[in-house]
Homo-oligomer: A and B are copies of this chain.
Amino acid sequence: MAKQQVRIGMIGYKFMGKAHSHAYRDLPFYFNTQVEPVMQAIVGRDEAGVKAAADRMGWHSYETDWRRLIERDDIDLIDIGVTNHLHAEIAIAAAEAGKHVICEKPLAMNVEEAGRMLEAVNKAGVVHMVCHNYRFVPAIRFAKQLIDSGKLGKIYHFRSRYLQDWIMDPQFPLVWRLRKEVCGSGTHGDLMAHSIDLARYLVGEMSEVVGMMDTFIKRRPLGEMSGGLHAEVSGEQIGEVDVDDAVAFMSRFKNGAFGVFEATRFGKGNRNGNSFEINGSKGSVRWNMENMNQLQLYVEDDEKGEQGFRNISCTEDIHPYAGAYWPAGHIIGYEHTFINIVHELMNGIAENKSPSPNFTDGYRNQVILDAVENSAKSKSWITLPKF
């Protein structure tokens, strides 16, 4: 008997569009999902660009207006991989059209938008996820299992850093990720949103935060809106950077643990330095994206004198997702986090459930993002709502 098909409409074909497209294409190779993903259509405003992307990446068709995708009957799932300022409008339209939705992070421009998005998907009863892909690193998922099993005991500390350095040149142009009207926030929504998601996933909800943010380079040459790393400067015009270059915050988790978070795009030498450490009463874990297959684990009940952080290669069959890939020690990479997440999404659609992280997670993440930003402005601690 043929599997139920899930016909996907992908919006966006740049960095995230590529990552998601690859995941759908590769998923059936590695995982036997309950439903079959079909790469139905991809959307981009530039027809030549999106057509070429569709051909190369394996999409059956393309559109130049995302609204067309919503209207099409042959689309079951909308995947939102475009600039943040479109997330809410697209997601709500998709939900209202009865389509499942997966949305890139951060979920929205602000809490108000996120709230409407959550309401929309709940009302429509569609399956929804937000694409916090780091949860799907085998080493991190394994850390979660260890924490849930009590291996680390009571958690006292979560500390994370997410350091990049790609905009440090003052001549780097004012790309969309540096314009508030398009991205909502800078490093905060781009990087810190990931760290917040990992904190919530691994340790739980927080009760209060105090934050600081700043923009180190306040004026930059204007560049092409869509550019990423390779954006080119166009002309002599200068624009204001109205989002944060760096953000830090401290928090209390509901269980009393300390949270210390820092994210920056001014961390010279750190290309994608996402890392965290968790200390519990019985053990600790450390993780670093640079060596993403490895989990450092300290277990208190190792024999006296033989205690030390173990360097575990989370590539064995026993580790989450790892069995689908290669023998132990044959590492996977960044792109596999997306394969793992769409694997969960497909099974969620089959079971009509919204796997975590879903819009509820995205909403709560946005609550924290906004609270940190407000705290930075008001220079005060902010109490978070009880979820």
Cβ of A22 < 8 Å from any Cβ of B?
Answer: yes
Interface string of A279-308 (1 = CB under 8 A from B): 111111000011111110111101011111
B-chain residues with CB within 8 Å of residue A291 when the two chains form the complex: 290-291
Interface residues of A in 253-299 (CB under 8 A from B): 256, 258, 260, 262, 264, 266-273, 277, 279-284, 289-295, 297-299
Q: Are A283 and B271 in contact (CB under 8 A)?
A: no
Q: Are A248 and B260 in contact (CB under 8 A)?
A: yes
Cβ of A164 < 8 Å from any Cβ of B?
Answer: yes
Report A167 CB to chain B, min CB distance, Å. 12
B-chain residues with CB within 8 Å of residue A381 when the two chains form the complex: 379-380
Cβ of A385 < 8 Å from any Cβ of B?
Answer: no
Report A151 CB to chain B, min CB distance, Å. 8
Number of residues from A at the complex interface, CB < 8 A: 99
Q: Are B310 and A307 in contact (CB under 8 A)?
A: yes
Which one of B159, B246, B297, B307 lies within 8 Å of A258 (CB-CB)?
Answer: B246
Q: Give the segment of A42-50, A231-239, A328-336, A360-368 that binds chain B.
A: A328-336
Give the residue among A142, A304, A310 with the most B Cβ atoms within 10 A.
Answer: A310
Q: Are B212 and A252 in contact (CB under 8 A)?
A: yes
B-chain residues with CB within 8 Å of residue A228 when the two chains form the complex: 327
